Amino acid sequence: MKKKSKLLDYLVKYRVFVIFAVMFIVMAISSDVFLTRGNILNMLRQLSINGILAVGMTFVLITGGIDLSVGAVLTFSAMVGCSLIQKGSPYPVILAVAVSLAIGVGIGLINGIIVAKGSVPAFIVTLGTQMMAAGAALLLRNGSPIPGLKDEYNVIGAGSFLGVPLPIYIFFAIMLIGGFVLRRTRFGRHTYAVGGNALAARACGIRDKSVTIWVYVISGLCAAIAGVVLSARVRTATPIAGSGYELDAIAAAVLGGTSLTGGIGNMWGTLAGVLIIGLLNNGMDLLNIQSYIQDIIQGLIIIAAVYIDVNTNKARN
């Protein structure tokens, strides 16, 4: 009985990895194309955008917050940056990238200051900035996309190294940096402390408001990086490119074990959550499942993940 109980505990603790393994095996059996090198690389390239967003979202969720603006920040930052580097433009690519990242950091900073200093619920603040950034992206070119980007910029999203697309390298690099910061730095420890109990963290001398501001800055920066990678990959910046990405990022983090109530989560779990969502999308495409049905399945998965999170927290308490 003890062995069974211990096995069950392990399955519950590492459920996200078990789910990923089962899904991977099922897809390998169901599709002859799934295990081909081209499909695996294509799947990883597609999920890299959500993965970059999920890194920033993990920081925010661990503090007990939420960032609904990342999809719109992705879009707006990319639109502004790409408007500077259409072919024939005198501006260098590095300037466009810097401007895009600065916009992401700036919006993240605004979110963080209002949440931390103004004590306004993160849901309301980031919903407001989401609407403003989305509106600004549409206003910038009257709803028109920005095509014809410089080749040097497009390499960021469409280039490859040793046969592996650059977005995959960027995604894993950001994931590793995020994991290191969370687990190996003082800021990471403070992030967990603020999410576990902000009042206790403050009593211990932790500047909880500063931590809160910084996690939203990190989230905004990750959104801008994702915007650069996505626009460079498709060689166009569109005013609705990031629509819905915020939900995928939240779903990936929560699937990976990051708690919506704060204080719990890690990048390994988020990585598994990102892979599960990417695997699910890729698998349903290979099996020719209608996009409407895909939305229903993804919605059910999000509900299931939140249900498990809530009930796991109840069990701990």
In a domain, 286, yes or no: no
- Using an 8 Å Cβ cutoff, are 89 and 185 in contact? no
Where do we find the tokens 């990895």?
A: 17
Is the pLDDT score of 109 beyond 70?
A: yes
Q: Confidence class of residue 216 from pLDDT cuts 50, 70 and 90?
A: very high
Give pLDDT, residue 65: 94
* Overall number of domains in the chain: 1
DSSP H helix total and E strand total for the chain = 14, 2
Question: How far is 143 from 121, CA to CA, in rounded Å?
Answer: 30
In a domain, 208, yes or no: yes
Work out the mean pLDDT of the chain and round it to a whole number.
89
* More confident site: 255 or 92: 92
Is the pLDDT score of 1 beyond 60?
A: no
- Count of Cβ atoms closer than 10 Å to residue 12 Cβ: 12
In a domain, 299, yes or no: no
In a domain, 132, yes or no: yes
What is the mean pLDDT of the segment spanning 81-89? Answer: 90
Q: Confidence class of residue 131 from pLDDT cuts 50, 70 and 90?
A: very high
- Using an 8 Å Cβ cutoff, are 223 and 104 in contact? yes
Question: How far is 160 from 225, CA to CA, in rounded Å?
Answer: 17
What is the mean pLDDT of the segment spanning 107-134? Answer: 95
Question: How far is 263 from 198, CA to CA, in rounded Å?
Answer: 10
3-state secondary structure of 237: strand
Is the pLDDT score of 230 beyond 90?
A: yes
Is the pLDDT score of 2 beyond 70?
A: no
Each residue's pLDDT tens digit, 237-273 = 999 998 889 988 998 998 888 888 888 889 999 999 9
Is the pLDDT score of 281 beyond 80?
A: yes
Smallest CA-to-CA distance from 26 within 273, 287, 242 is with 287
Is the pLDDT score of 24 beyond 90?
A: no
* More confident site: 155 or 295: 155
In a domain, 282, yes or no: no
In a domain, 229, yes or no: yes
Tokens of 273: 């959550």
Q: Confidence class of residue 5 from pLDDT cuts 50, 70 and 90?
A: low
Give pLDDT, residue 6: 65
* More confident site: 3 or 195: 195
Is the pLDDT score of 11 beyond 70?
A: no
DSSP code string of 141-209: TTT--B--B-HHHHHHHH-EETTEEHHHHHHHHHHHHHHHHHHHSHHHHHHHHHHH-HHHHHHTT--HH
Each residue's pLDDT tens digit, 188-213 = 999 999 998 888 989 888 999 999 99
Smallest CA-to-CA distance from 186 within 202, 203, 204, 206 is with 206
DSSP-derived letter for residue 116 is: H
Is the pLDDT score of 150 beyond 60?
A: yes
Question: How far is 68 from 36, CA to CA, in rounded Å?
Answer: 35
% of the chain surpassing 90 pLDDT: 61
In a domain, 32, yes or no: no
Which pTM value belongs to this model? 0.92
- Using an 8 Å Cβ cutoff, are 262 and 63 in contact? yes
In a domain, 166, yes or no: yes
Give pLDDT, residue 301: 76
Residue 173 is part of which domain span? 47-242
Each residue's pLDDT tens digit, 13-22 = 667 788 888 8
Is the pLDDT score of 106 beyond 80?
A: yes
